[in-house]
Amino acid sequence: MALSADLICGKIPGLTYKQRLLCAAKPDAMVAISNGAKLGLAECQEQFKYHRWNCTAIGSRNGFGHVVVVGSREAAYLYAVWSSGLTYAIAQACSQGAISSCGGPVAAGGNGWKWGGCSADVRSGASLAKRFADSRETEGDDRSLMNLHNNKAGRKIVKSMLKKECKCHGVSGSCSLKTCWEKLPAFRDIGDALMKQYREAKAVVAKESRSGNDSKPRKLLTLQLRRKPHNKPRLSELVFLNSSPNYCEANPSTGSLGVVGRRCNRTSTGADGCNLLCCGRGYNTHQFNHVSHQCNCKFHWCCEVKCQTCTIKSEEYTCK
């Protein structure tokens, strides 16, 4: 007996009430949504694997329910890359026909070429990603505004990095007509581009403003640049509310797990180096013996080959 969509969606950990409703309404989209959530989280972990904060988040392993306690630039990156992952995976699934009700009007081509092939359906990907990701942000406070802004920046960067590819048609390859389609870049390229935005992220504050007429004024909360009051951040920029916490120390109130036990590179002067990653506290050395394949083989007349079994010693370094 097949399980109903409501029952399946009710068993997925980390979903909010609105996300469960969306899951029940579009069960065929949940595979892509799950893949996109995992894709974004995996990219975050890869990009930050040699940083003091290595993309640790409080949430379920399926990529849903992620939480970074402090509204830092690290939180900005996580929300943006998670939103990008959703957009990317849904767009792929739509292009492959794996999700119903995808697609929209195809834009007109140019002089001597037309749209065709299986273009990445980023419009549908961004639309469904927005419905899913933004439905978490219901509080209407400054942190929700920050998360919504970074979610949108994540969707926008996928759209901006689409590549146009074309195939020529015509007599003897004259290319009198081209068929073109839009192709998604490698997701690593999106992760790299978001890392650049992470380093250039803008500090913001939430300001209250009024809208509507005099008889029924409404209070609205908007984000403004901290260093340039009354200026709003660009939609493509990542934004953060709070300074990054001290990731050297384990602190549940900030979501920091600390650096004790993290692997480091003893000879590196970069972010993965023991001196920098371990916050100057030193490191422990662990020695291992690995039994290798046969070595130092010699031929003895006649007719025998004798070998030794060599042992390779290796060291691993972890932060104190």
Q: 142-160 and 187-199 are packed helices; what angle lies between their axes, rounded to 10 degrees?
A: 130
Task: Report d(CA 172, CA 317) in Å as an integer.
Answer: 62
For residues 174-182, give the mean pLDDT: 82
Read off the pTM.
Answer: 0.85
Give SS3 for 315: strand
Q: Which residue has the tokens 């029924």?
A: 216
Q: Under CATH, which number does the domain 264-319 receive? A: 3.30.2460
Q: Please determine, for residue 217, whether its predicted confidence score (pLDDT) is greater than 70.
A: no
Handedness of CA 130, 132, 133, 136 (dihedral sign): positive
Residue/partner pairs of 219-227 with CB below 8 Å, 24 or more apart: 221/140, 221/141, 221/142, 221/145, 222/145, 223/142, 223/145, 223/146, 223/149, 226/202, 227/203
Give SS3 for 277: helix
Domain ranges (residues) in the chain = 14-104+118-161+187-258, 264-319
The percentage of the chain sitting over the pLDDT mark of 90, rounded to a whole number, equals: 55
| Per-residue pLDDT tens over the stretch 283-299 | 999 998 877 778 889 98
For residues 63-78, give the mean pLDDT: 86
